[in-house]
């Protein structure tokens, strides 16, 4: 089992002070246990890649970019664990299959594993002793690229927001959901620093309360004004003109611009657009799945009904009631004004503009 290390409450307030994923030079992976926030900061330590997969499933770490980075480091753990095995590649592949199944909607998971798999299969059999080191280098590059991409997206997205605006965000797309800084919250952080955002409204994000536990925690640390709203209050929020933008992250974006994100995003986008607000999706290019022609091709994860029927382990629903618990929904491209990636800003028609941004990334060697 993973070990834990508790540090109490975080006290620093710089934008890069939140580190949800840390590679330890002793050869272990440290993950900030997001289930225990905001009450306490606890890092769990992992040396077993299958325990990392369980941590992804159990929401120790969450957010599509963070899941991908975590999976990449888990492959390093697998290589270290099986270095003396007579068939190390077979063992690593088996661990990777377990990792692939951990969260099916987050495309960054498959993207990161595919990159690690390519490195494994290009390895010279005579250099197997260097495999773990090569994989670690690749995982660190994925991690650092994500942080740099988040800062780039932050500046691009902030440039679209009028000074003094109020915005709404849903779920958590901050440092906790990425390698650092954040996607949607990266834009909000950059915009706040430039005087473009004066107020943030954050959806609670039931049933796991990522908005109230995680997003509000991050924004309060940065001293950015944030007010929580229930999902049922989103319609009047936009009707009363309290927010000019809905800004969210994404777990997967189809080739046509349909966006899979935390359940509740679709309805928030409907309310925003109906009342004249704009919708911004912020995600790295690794979140775009060009093999998915539309949102119909995106798998939507269903989680246990107990997440809705209980709270804090205590029953809250009538005995015998069931629950339908999709974790994500798909926001159609026609409800999205802009998709901000690290190489630029995409607008409709998204099939062409997203392809162009991905081409820029390829041309730059990304």
| Strand partners for 31 | 21, 44
Query: Rounded to a whole number, what is the distance in angstroms from the first to the last CA of the chain?
Result: 36
Q: How many angstroms separate the CA atoms of 60 and 168, rounded?
A: 25
User: Which position among 33, 146, 251, 258 bears the catalytic label?
Assistant: 251
C-beta of residue 183 within 8 angstroms of C-beta of residue 249:
yes
Q: Is 95 a catalytic residue?
A: no
Retrieve residue 80's tokens. 């270290």
Q: Apex CA 192: angle with CA 188 and CA 196, to 5°?
A: 100
DSSP state of 213: I
DSSP 293: -
Can you spell out the DSSP letters for 52-114? HHHHHHTTSS-SHHHHHHHHHHHHHHHHHHTTTSSSHHHHHHHHHHHHHTS-SS-HHHHHHHH
Measured CA distances, 200 to 90, 241, 275 (Å): 48, 13, 18
Active site residues: 251
């Amino acid at each position: 089992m993973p070990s834990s290390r508790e540090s109490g409450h975080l006290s620093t307030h710089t934008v890069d002070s939140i580190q949800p994923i840390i590679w330890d030079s002793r050869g272990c992976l440290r993950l900030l246990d997001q289930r225990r926030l905001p009450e306490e900061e606890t890092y769990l330590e992992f040396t077993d890649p299958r325990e990392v997969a369980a941590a992804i499933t159990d929401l120790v770490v969450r957010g599509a970019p963070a899941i991908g980075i975590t999976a990449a480091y888990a492959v390093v753990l697998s290589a270290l664990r099986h270095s003396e095995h007579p068939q190390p590649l077979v063992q690593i592949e088996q661990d990777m299959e377990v990792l692939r199944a951990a969260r099916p909607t987050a495309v960054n998971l498959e993207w990161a594993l595919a990159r690690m798999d390519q490195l494994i299969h290009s390895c010279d059999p005579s250099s197997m002793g260097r495999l773990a080191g090569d994989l670690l280098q690749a995982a660190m590059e994925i991690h650092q690229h994500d942080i740099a991409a988040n800062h780039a997206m932050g500046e691009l997205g902030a440039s679209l927001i009028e000074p003094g605006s109020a915005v709404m965000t849903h779920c958590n797309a901050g440092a906790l959901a990425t390698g650092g800084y954040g996607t949607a919250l990266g834009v909000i952080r950059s915009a706040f620093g430039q005087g473009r955002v004066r107020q943030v409204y954050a959806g609670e994000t039931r049933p796991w309360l990522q908005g109230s536990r995680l997003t509000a925690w991050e924004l309060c640390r940065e001293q950015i004004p944030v007010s929580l709203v229930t999902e049922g209050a989103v319609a009047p929020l936009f009707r009363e003109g309290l927010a000019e933008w809905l800004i969210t992250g994404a777990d997967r974006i189809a080739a046509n611009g349909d966006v899979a994100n935390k359940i509740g995003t679709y309805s928030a986008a409907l309310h925003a657009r109906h009342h004249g607000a704009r919708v911004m999706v912020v995600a790295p290019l690794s979140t775009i799945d060009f093999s998915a022609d539309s949102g119909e091709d995106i798998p939507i994860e269903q989680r246990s009904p107990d997440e809705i029927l209980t709270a804090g382990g205590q029953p809250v629903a009538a005995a015998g009631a069931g629950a339908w618990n999709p974790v994500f929904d798909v926001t159609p491209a026609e409800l999205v004004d802009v998709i901000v990636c690290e190489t630029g800003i995409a607008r409709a028609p998204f099939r062409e503009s997203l392809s162009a941004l991905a081409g820029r990334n390829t041309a730059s060697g990304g």
